[in-house]
Amino acid sequence: MVSDYSLKERLSEGFNGDVLTDVMLRDYTSLRIGGKADYIFIPSDPLSLRGLIEALAAAGLGYVLIGGGTNLLVTDDGVDDVVINMKAFQSLERVGDRGEDSGEDVRVFAQSGLSLQRLVSFCREGGLSGLEGLVGIPGTVGGAVFGNAGAYGCEIMDVVQRVTVLREGSIVVLEREDINATYRSGGLSPDTMILGVHILLKRDDKGTLQERMNEFLQMKKKTQPIGERSAGCVFKNPPAESAARLIDEAGFKGMRVGDIEVSTLHANFFINKGQGTAGDFLALMDAVVDGVRKKFGIVLEPEIGIIGRR
């Protein structure tokens, strides 16, 4: 439990941003599940973020980072750590070095707190190709990069050129060739805080981009429970396999624990049908993992992040 006595005072000097206290984290997740956080800090600039991290370390306090809360399960008892939200990091612009933006390639810079769909829309409106496969994926740019979000043969790290991060108290620019991104991992360590990314895109016809995005969106609507309260895919796809198919064939589609249900449309989505709890969600995860292991000999690994007291 974070002490109330002087944390705000300790951080007030030089900190620009908002500080919220006694916040229910269910209001910050797409599942609408989660207990209380004593503090949420919302820094408005990198220097304030760095000062916050240093002050927390000096006070012996831990922290967790949240973005859009769309691939996140917060436990019912809440979190001991301070929560940091990056939603103030919203910059988005086309950038070019000495006229390099005049050819087929176009560089775009986006900060980590920006909505991923705002970036996708920006690219569509600007006739920039490379991210259309990510249309309809919720969350923030930072979360997408950290988890290497992807769909329809497109992953965000395919177009990332460099990543600006806060690491060990320093702001560092990492070139793409120095980052070992893999399936559902941007290749960055958990203690690395993403500040922004430069991405490299191709000029394309706006109408053609719109048509491709519309096709992807229609496929999503037919195969995924768009609009329901979920955290996206619960489990990673095993190599050369589909987690949804395994869950379905193991007989779990439509299974329910409390108000958490395995989607009848896409078995790798768990839906909060009403007043679902993290306990319900975790119990359903355990049941699915056990059932798939017994039937197929495959152990499913979580794709969602899980934070809080357990």
CATH of the domain at 160: 3.30.465.10
- CA atoms within 13 A of residue 70's CA, in its CB half-sphere: 21
Considering the candidates 132, 162, 233, 261, report the single residue annotated as catalytic: 233
Cβ atoms within 10 Å, residue 149: 25
Number of domains in the chain: 3
Residue after which a domain boundary falls, among 222, 242, 265: 222
Considering the candidates 132, 155, 261, 303, report the single residue annotated as catalytic: 303
Same domain for 218 and 273: no
| SS3 category, 164 | strand
- Closest Cα partner for 163 from 111, 87, 204, 219? 111
CA distance 229 to 172: 36
pLDDT of residue 99: 46
241 is catalytic: no
Q: Which domain holds residue 177?
A: 92-222
Q: Which helix (H) or strand (E) holds 284?
A: helix 278-296
Residue 98 has pLDDT above 50, yes or no: no
- Domain annotation covers residue 1: no
Quick check: 121 and 105 in contact, CB under 8 A? no
CA distance 267 to 142: 26
pTM recorded for the entire structure: 0.89
pLDDT per position as a tens digit, 18-36: 999 999 999 999 999 999 9
Considering the candidates 10, 32, 167, 184, report the single residue annotated as catalytic: 184
pLDDT per position as a tens digit, 108-162: 999 999 999 999 999 999 999 999 999 999 999 999 999 999 988 899 999 999 9
303 is catalytic: yes
Same domain for 56 and 13: yes
- CA atoms within 13 A of residue 199's CA, in its CB half-sphere: 31
Q: Report CA-CA distances (Å) from 282 to 60, 66, 278, 297.
A: 30, 20, 6, 21
Same domain for 138 and 55: no
Helices (H), 59-157: 116-126, 141-146
Same domain for 198 and 98: yes
Same domain for 238 and 137: no
pLDDT per position as a tens digit, 152-198: 889 999 999 999 999 988 999 999 999 999 998 999 998 899 999 99
Mean pLDDT of 251-272: 98
- Domain annotation covers residue 195: yes
The C-alpha torsion from 100 through 106 and 110 to 114, rounded to 10°, is 160
233 is catalytic: yes
The two tokens of residue 299 are: 């152990």
